Structure 1
Amino acid sequence: MPAQIPHKHHDEIEENGFTVVRNFLNQDEIDEYLKASETIIDYARQGNWPYVRTMGKQFPPWPKNFSPNIWGITGLLHPDLNEKSLPFHKLYSDDKMLSIVCDILQIEKDQVSMELLNMLINPLTDFELDWHRDTIKPEATPEEEKEDLLKNPYAGAQFNLALTEDNCLIAIPGSHKRLRTQEELDKTIDPSRRKESITDEIVVKLNPGDLVFYNNNILHRAKYSAKNKRITVHGSYGNVKFGKSRAKGILQHGVAEWLPRLEPENENLKMLKEKLVNLAHEFGGVNLGYALDG
């Protein structure tokens, strides 16, 4: 009989919608990835990298904007970053990261698929995101919302890995497995109220080296302060059995355009890439649109 897959993190996400792993990185690892991140941030702020999250725009597609005032950088595994991306080959495919993914999704390592690896950073002016679920539009009817919340909740695993102190993520625990309350409806549908506080919200406070995985359909938003340095690696992994349900949310970021040129630095990343290549081929030439507007 195969050994049972640990399920601590799976159970915490099932209950609360998120699980926090303190001190996931040691100080040497923090220093290594911080240095690699700062190199890419400088490169992007100087206007050398077009794949960034631009101010005033919450969701893709983001315009090609060469202003230094950005709040995120897309495609840390993109081959055009050359040697600057190599530390992230190791980070994304690290066995200790994949073991947590296997716990959450309750699958073996060879069933994990590559998805996205990006970076969230402090902009040069304050910026806030609206309350949202990542793959369910706020205008969804109760019937649509219920169906989508119940559909393959462990099809993927999304994370934030803090390299600096990070108090940006705000979430409503338990909201990943229920319909919105009337207050939540009012504050997610009305554009003028989408940044207001909601009852029972919490701030997910991360220290350097801390990791949070969360169900991407938990109600959440973020507040970015220009004065507080933020460098947080943000990404996701998929369950290969449910790739079709993840396709729009992943392929909307343009990963299929450069994926064939990615040359993995290790066997884990090679295995992860093969799964995403198969998904991209399945939807080749299909316009999937975008998961959210804004």
Structure 2
Amino acid sequence: MPSQIAHKYHDEIDEQGFTIIRGFLTPDEVEKYSKAADAVVELARKGDWPDVRTRGKQFPPWPKNFSPDIWGVSGLLHPNLKELALPFHECYASEKILNVAEDILQAERSELSMELFNMLINPLTDFGLDWHRDTIKPEVDAEEEAKALLENPYAGTQFNLALTEDDCLIVIPRSHNRIRTEEEKAKSIAEDRQQHITGEIRVPLHPGDIVFYNNNILHRGQYSSANVRITLHGSYGHVKHGKSRAKGILQHGVAEWLPRFKPNNQNLVELKEKLVLLAKEFEGINLGYALDG
């Protein structure tokens, strides 16, 4: 018989499109992961880590040219980070975070798949992301948008785990399972796609807080250069719906280093196995990119 899976966080995301857990990390964990993150940020700002999100470019592929003005660092589990990656092995595969993922996806542990683990940081100059859904292009018509929203709504889940004060995420609550209003549609395809939308809210996180959200929620980010931001940003998939997640995950190049990746705990070993199977299924296939910009 399958184990009884809690559904508190699943139900909150089902209703609102996101769920916040306050004090998810202990103060000691915040300190430990902050120290690990600082070391990686320093490496990236110096130009010694190539997988970064450069200011001015919103979605992959990001340019390889080096600039310290970055708003994200990708590949926290990448084997080239060596010992710097080990604290992130622990964080990504911790029992408490996997328990929440199981709840949201209504999945057994054996059904969870490794996906991405990155970091969102403050750029050196202010920067904003456009209104978007992560895998549905804003130009689609209402019929195509509705169809995409109904397909595999719990194929995966993603999170922001704050190590500093963070109110960069802006969302439209309850927009994850409906087509856009006329205002939302107009402002997500306008020349300026960062305009205020009726009903938008910021998601304030304190150090140690985590927000999980449905990546179909209409959202954007607003990054201030004045405030230090260190937020861990990751996702998990449900193995039964891997095909629907493939483009959004493999577009980040994870399959290139996955064969060399050696997890340091059993949870991560099992998560990796699922992603290896997905990567093999799409080996040699150019899936393209989910969004433009």
Which residue matches 1:21? Answer: 21
Counterpart secondary structure, 1:176: coil
Correspondences of 1:133-144 after superposition (within 5 Å): 133-144=133-144
Which residue matches 1:264? Answer: 263
Which residue matches 2:187? Answer: 187
Deviation of 1:67 (Å) = 1.1
* 8 Å CA contact retained: 1:130, 1:188: yes
Counterpart secondary structure, 1:49: coil
Whichever residue aligns with residue 203 of structure 2, its letter is: V
Which residue matches 1:7? Answer: 7
Deviation of 1:132 (Å) = 0.3
* 8 Å CA contact retained: 1:142, 1:179: yes
> TM-score of the superposition, structure 2-length normalised?
0.99
* 8 Å CA contact retained: 2:122, 2:225: yes
Long gaps (5+) in structure 2: none
Whichever residue aligns with residue 253 of structure 2, its letter is: G
Q: Deviations over 1:119-168 (max 9, x none)?
A: 00000000000000000000011111000001000000100000000000
Q: Deviations over 1:243-293 (max 9, x none)?
A: 000000000000000000000001000000000000000000000000000
User: How many Å separate the matches in 2 of 1:64 and 1:175?
Assistant: 34
User: How many Å separate the matches in 2 of 1:253 and 1:289?
Assistant: 10
Correspondences of 1:188-227 after superposition (within 5 Å): 188-192=188-192, 194-227=193-226
Say how many residue pairs are matched: 293
Q: Deviations over 1:32-68 (max 9, x none)?
A: 0000000000000000011000010000000113211
Correspondences of 1:1-294 after superposition (within 5 Å): 1-192=1-192, 194-294=193-293
> TM-score of the superposition, structure 1-length normalised?
0.99
Structure 1: 4+ residue segments shifted above 6 A: none
Deviation of 1:3 (Å) = 3.6
User: How many Å separate the matches in 2 of 1:233 and 1:146?
Assistant: 30
* 8 Å CA contact retained: 1:114, 1:238: yes
User: How many Å separate the matches in 2 of 1:141 and 1:161?
Assistant: 33
User: How many Å separate the matches in 2 of 1:235 and 1:4?
Assistant: 25
User: How many Å separate the matches in 2 of 1:254 and 1:237?
Assistant: 16
* 8 Å CA contact retained: 2:131, 2:219: yes
Counterpart secondary structure, 1:242: helix
Counterpart secondary structure, 1:175: coil
User: How many Å separate the matches in 2 of 1:65 and 1:165?
Assistant: 29
User: How many Å separate the matches in 2 of 1:45 and 1:165?
Assistant: 21
* 8 Å CA contact retained: 1:52, 1:65: no
Deviation of 1:4 (Å) = 1.8
Deviation of 1:196 (Å) = 0.5
User: How many Å separate the matches in 2 of 1:184 and 1:37?
Assistant: 35
User: How many Å separate the matches in 2 of 1:191 and 1:41?
Assistant: 32
Identity %: 68
- Superposition CA RMSD, Å: 0.6
Long gaps (5+) in structure 1: none
